[in-house]
Structure 1
Amino acid sequence: MKRKVLLIYTGGTIGMEKDYETGSLRAFNFSHVFDRMPEMNLIECEITVHPFRKPLDSSDMGPKEWKKIATYIGKNYENFDGFLILHGTDTMSYTASALSFMLKNLRKPVILTGSQLPIGDLRTDAKENLLTSLYYASLYENDEAVIQEVTIYFEYKLLRGNRTLKYSAEYFDAYQSPNYPILGQSGVHLNIEKDFLLRPSRDADFNVDTHLSQDVLFWRIFPGMHLEHFAEIPSMKVLILQVFGSGTIFNTTKTEQILQLLRERGTEIVVVSQCVSGGVSFGKYTNSNVFTKVGAISGHDMTAECAITKAMHLLENPSYEGSFAENFNKSLCGEVSLEHH
């Protein structure tokens, strides 16, 4: 039985070609991708291509586009066995994280991929990324999807989407999942680490929740920074602070006063680490105690991209019971390792 895969092309380098007059990259008509890559016809699945009307650079992808993708997957969920989203690399981790929260109780693969070089380049990474992603998107065993979550496939590695970050603008191996193991690797065989795959609860049905609030601010703390600037920013609902190491910040009376002021104004404060690997652990050092005092929320080992999209999804979302802090402290779809902290 041939599996059906819906391929959503949003834009990005993977669908570009070189304009030989100007030397710049331009988007080609992605509906003709089978002409560019006849190998796609050899894969044992039926592929339907749905390109965005206007292909977008990934720096133009945001909440509006995330909702559009989630809604489109929701509408077509019953008609396809898997979903593949082609996306520019710069913000792919944000989109993957946002989709992981919006597509609830997913039982089918949603895979994002892209490339560092255009599909027409001689040395392109686009073909391998696209072909292997199609394999993963159509991979079923005993009539059940092997992958039932939002993932990123890039340069021989399948990663949990909401655990990823782009760490290289230059190498083909552009993504890391520093706090969660690789879900699969493609070599001579397609390997899947089944123990690390997410499984939705059996009694919950798939549904799409596109709630996203943009009243979220992200700030990286640096030595000598004047926190007084925060007091001048008009009221924000969530402030995500990216702080040092395992959750430390300069230990001054001023720090506590400013953070307390924000909390009194009703701002939720979420704390994530500037370190790529590991996470926040309040109380480990004295200089993290201020966060406990003011009632800040630990982001544990979440990536910045994930913490931002999770906050956007949870903030004032009527479909969640309990407070923002209670929900943020839960692992909703494998985005955080709570047991290690």
Structure 2
Amino acid sequence: MKKTKILLIYTGGTIGMMKDYKSGALKAFNFAKLLKNIPELNQLDCEIQSHSFETPIDSSNINTEHWVAIATTIEETYHEYDGFVVLHGSDTMSYSASALSYMLENLSKPVIFTGSQLPIGDLRTDAKENLITSIQIAALREKDKAVIQEVGLYFEYKLYRGNRTTKINAEHFEAFASLNYPALAESGVHLKVHYEYLLKPNKLKKLVVHKNLDTNVAILKLFPGFNENLLKSVLSTPNLKALIIETYGAGNAPTDQWLIDHLKNAKKNGVQVINVTQCSGGSVIMGQYETSEHLQQMQVINGKDITTEAAITKLMYLLGMDVSPKLFKTIFETPLRGEMI
């Protein structure tokens, strides 16, 4: 049998750095010498090749153009490789994994995002385990088919659905959580895959790569003391097409008349308004309390249990698809890649 072929796509981030022990400075890791530096990879029964961004990007500088570059690399090499591992800085990894999940329609191969909290050459690094296991997961096959057929995020012994994740810690190795959806796989003494939670794509449909993302979107987080001037300022943003409101608890917001009036007016002017909870876990349930009835009555879009990262990238994707305003609410409230209930 031919070996499984995996492509590493290095975008930047801590995982791609090594410490120069003489100077103590960090320098870029040479992925062309990956097997030499990490001989453990030779134990995996797969062929590994790498592709690096010309200029590594700190994940704080990631934008939609970089997402298009990753998607294009996958599109151009899709038939050459059996799986893809994207090495990425952890700060915006959940945004990138969410975006790629929408951009890669009918994906039937694994695209696994991973990174690390410490550089690959550090004494106590988490980079080696994250990298080795991500490649192992991307290479998993049964009956000559990929086990994982979606965009995942692997970090600290767990594989999550990428568009279900949030970065929760800047210091611990366990940097990510998926509070509204179970892990897809767990790495311990054995690698355990939870098959019942995996996406099962339609294998008859070909990969379609969407590269048109519309960034005329905004996020507004509610807080006690939130005022009318702030809302007016955000809603007066030129070319604004959609606004995510991060509400309290199960989708609750102040009942001030000025808030209702401005949101109604925004909707009348074609701005899509989405209700997403600012809680890390749980779901928006509009109408459960009096403080969300006014949002339900004005037909604000229900974000349900979607993360803010998945919501904002879903907006960019749907607006880029030029979805009809009449259908927008229905389509947003429909799970497209397993990102919501």
Distance between the aligned counterparts of 1:45 and 1:132, measured in 2? Answer: 13
Distance between the aligned counterparts of 1:154 and 1:227, measured in 2? Answer: 41
> Could you tell me which residue of structure 1 aligns to residue 58 of structure 2?
57
Q: CA deviation at 1:71?
A: 1.1
The answer to whether the 8 Å contact 1:155/1:172 transfers is yes
Which of 288-297 and 31-40 deviates more?
31-40
> Could you tell me which residue of structure 2 aligns to residue 217 of structure 1?
218
Which of 298-307 and 205-214 deviates more?
205-214
The answer to whether the 8 Å contact 2:41/2:132 transfers is yes
Cα shift readout 1:186-223 (whole Å, capped 9, x = no counterpart): 11111000000001124422211122100010111111
> Could you tell me which residue of structure 2 aligns to residue 290 of structure 1?
294
Cα shift readout 1:10-33 (whole Å, capped 9, x = no counterpart): 110011123557655332333333
Cα shift readout 1:256-285 (whole Å, capped 9, x = no counterpart): 111112112211101100111111011000
Q: 1:320 to 1:192 in 2, by over 3 A?
A: farther
The count of corresponding residues between Structure 1 and Structure 2 is: 337
Root mean square deviation, CA, Å: 1.6
Which sections of structure 2, spanning at least 5 residues, go unmatched? none
What SS is found at the alignment partner of 1:191?
A: strand
> Could you tell me which residue of structure 2 aligns to residue 158 of structure 1?
159
Q: 1:320 to 1:150 in 2, by over 3 A?
A: farther
> Could you tell me which residue of structure 1 aligns to residue 148 of structure 2?
147
Q: How does 1:38-187 map to 2 (within 5 A)?
A: 38-187=39-188
> Could you tell me which residue of structure 1 aligns to residue 10 of structure 2?
9
Which sections of structure 1, spanning at least 5 residues, go unmatched? none
What SS is found at the alignment partner of 2:101?
A: helix
Distance between the aligned counterparts of 1:316 and 1:109, measured in 2? Answer: 24
> Could you tell me which residue of structure 1 aligns to residue 269 of structure 2?
265
Match of 2:334 among 330, 333, 337: 330
Q: TM-score of the superposition, structure 1-length normalised? A: 0.95
> Could you tell me which residue of structure 2 aligns to residue 248 of structure 1?
252
Cα shift readout 1:166-191 (whole Å, capped 9, x = no counterpart): 10101111110000011110111110
The answer to whether the 8 Å contact 2:14/2:115 transfers is yes
The answer to whether the 8 Å contact 2:270/2:325 transfers is no
Cα shift readout 1:70-112 (whole Å, capped 9, x = no counterpart): 1110111111100000011000000000000000111111101
The answer to whether the 8 Å contact 1:31/1:51 transfers is no
The answer to whether the 8 Å contact 1:228/1:258 transfers is no
Distance between the aligned counterparts of 1:22 and 1:217, measured in 2? Answer: 43
What SS is found at the alignment partner of 1:79?
A: coil
The answer to whether the 8 Å contact 2:108/2:203 transfers is no
Identity across matched positions, percent: 48
Q: 1:319 to 1:47 in 2, by over 3 A?
A: farther
Q: 1:265 to 1:24 in 2, by over 3 A?
A: farther
Corresponding position: 1:237 with 2:241? yes
Q: CA deviation at 1:37?
A: 1.2
What SS is found at the alignment partner of 2:79?
A: helix
* One-letter amino acid matched to 1:276: S
Cα shift readout 1:273-323 (whole Å, capped 9, x = no counterpart): 011111101100011012122221011000000000000000141478962
> Could you tell me which residue of structure 1 aligns to residue 26 of structure 2?
25
